[in-house]
């Protein structure tokens, strides 16, 4: 009798095993996406969602995405990050340094994955690239160094350039290293750098008003200030505009030299997957960008009366006509 009961129990266990496995595989995981809001975060939200789908995470099925944007205001990021913590997400993916810093302030337990942060070591977001420590890891876009590249491009496009303005956002921890790299490059090329620091709530119109009468030859725009208005104002004031984010030429600006965001977001999604499967952020080294893209807007150049050097056109990854 006991042997018969044992056989029944084993049979029931075998029947229930597939159900248990299925229940485990369909467990809904929650991922929070946090963005400053400039540039438009929809491309970030959409890209991460698409990359996670390739790994088997489908929003509305086995994945719940919580999207939060501060609308371009760094002072609003902390509240958005705290809200994500309250929803008990499994992982927070933060785009741009200000968002990563806000997430760090909100939690030291929930894993945080950086999506293309600029100079995360120099800005204090991580302890080291190899062993980031704490609850933060992810990808780095080399943004600060690329700021210096923008100065070189400004001179290549406009050899007579002597004074270049830089628009940076107060409250974004990336601004300091971004400006430092640009000033280093400017000194080496004999170009004076004119920084304009905007506070949260100030408009881009204010910045361009300040540039008038300052003999500015070109303007470099920090990614956290990028929006449609930036390209429009640069064109209206007949200023060549450059950025380390490809969103600028896509919205009417002149040129960008940036990390390949598609590749960075792919790696970001892979790290989310690793963490959801049990890996600890402290054991995942920060991945640095190794692919970069030069995008130029030919239409904007014509409107400004500029002609791109043939060598620059030949190096471009994309030319917007």
| Dist CA 192 CA 7 (whole Å) | 84
pLDDT value, residue 86: 97
Helices within the chain (DSSP H only): 2-25, 42-54, 77-86, 97-106, 143-157, 174-189, 204-211, 228-236, 247-250, 261-276, 298-304, 310-315
| 59 within some domain | yes
Comparing C-alpha atoms, which of 237, 257, 233 is closest to residue 185?
257
Structural domain boundaries enclosing 222: 143-258+293-320
pLDDT value, residue 198: 93
CA 71 to chain centre: 15
The answer to whether residues 172 and 76 touch, using CB atoms and an 8 Å cutoff, is no
For the domain that residue 111 is a member of, what is the CATH number? 3.40.50.2300
Radius of gyration of the chain (CA): 23
| 175 within some domain | yes
In total, how many domains does the chain have? 2
| Dist CA 73 CA 98 (whole Å) | 10
Band the pLDDT of 320: cuts 50, 70, 90: very high
pLDDT of 314 > 70? The answer is yes
- Compute the mean pLDDT over every residue in the chain, rounded to the nearest whole number: 90
pLDDT value, residue 172: 85
The answer to whether residues 216 and 192 touch, using CB atoms and an 8 Å cutoff, is no
pLDDT of 3 > 80? The answer is no
The pLDDT of 12-21, averaged and rounded, is 42
φ/ψ (deg, to 5) at 165: -85, 150
**Pairing of β 255-259 and β 241-243:** parallel
| 124 within some domain | yes
**Which residue is associated with the tokens 């030859």?**
217
Looking at residue 27, the DSSP 8-state letter turns out to be: P
Residues 175 and 284 in one domain: no
Residues 111 and 41 in one domain: yes
């Amino acid at each position: 009798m006991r042997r018969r009961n044992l056989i029944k129990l084993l049979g029931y266990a075998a029947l229930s095993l597939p159900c248990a496995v299925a229940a485990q595989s369909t467990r809904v995981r929650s991922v929070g996406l946090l963005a400053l809001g400039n540039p438009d975060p929809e491309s970030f939200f959409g890209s991460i969602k698409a990359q996670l789908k390739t790994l088997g995470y489908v929003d509305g099925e086995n994945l719940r995405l919580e999207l939060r944007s501060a609308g371009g205001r760094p002072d609003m990021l902390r509240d958005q990050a705290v809200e994500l913590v309250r929803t008990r997400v499994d992982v927070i993916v933060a785009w741009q340094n200000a968002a990563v810093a806000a997430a760090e302030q909100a939690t030291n337990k929930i894993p945080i994955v950086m999506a293309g942060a600029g100079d995360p070591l120099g800005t204090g977001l991580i302890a080291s690239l190899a062993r980031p420590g704490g609850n933060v890891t992810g990808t780095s876009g080399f943004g600060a160094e690329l700021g210096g590249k923008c100065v070189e491009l400004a001179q290549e496009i406009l050899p007579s350039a002597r004074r270049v303005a830089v628009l940076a956002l107060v409250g974004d921890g990336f601004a300091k290293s971004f400006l430092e790299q640009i000033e280093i490059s400017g000194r080496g090329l004999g170009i004076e750098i004119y920084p304009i620091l905007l506070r949260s709530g100030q408009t881009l119109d204010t910045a361009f008003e300040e540039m008038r009468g300052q003999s500015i030859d070109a303007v470099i725009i920090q990614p956290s200030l990028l929006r449609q208005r930036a390209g429009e104002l640069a064109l209206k004031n007949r200023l060549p505009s450059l950025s380390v984010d490809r969103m600028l030429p896509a919205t009417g600006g002149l040129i960008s030299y940036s990390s390949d965001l598609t590749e960075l977001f792919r790696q970001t999604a892979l790290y989310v997957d690793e963490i959801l499967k049990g890996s600890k952020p402290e054991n995942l080294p920060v991945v640095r960008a190794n692919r970069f893209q030069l995008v130029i807007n030919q239409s904007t150049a014509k409107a400004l009366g500029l002609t791109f050097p043939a060598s620059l056109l030949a190096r471009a990854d994309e030319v917007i006509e």
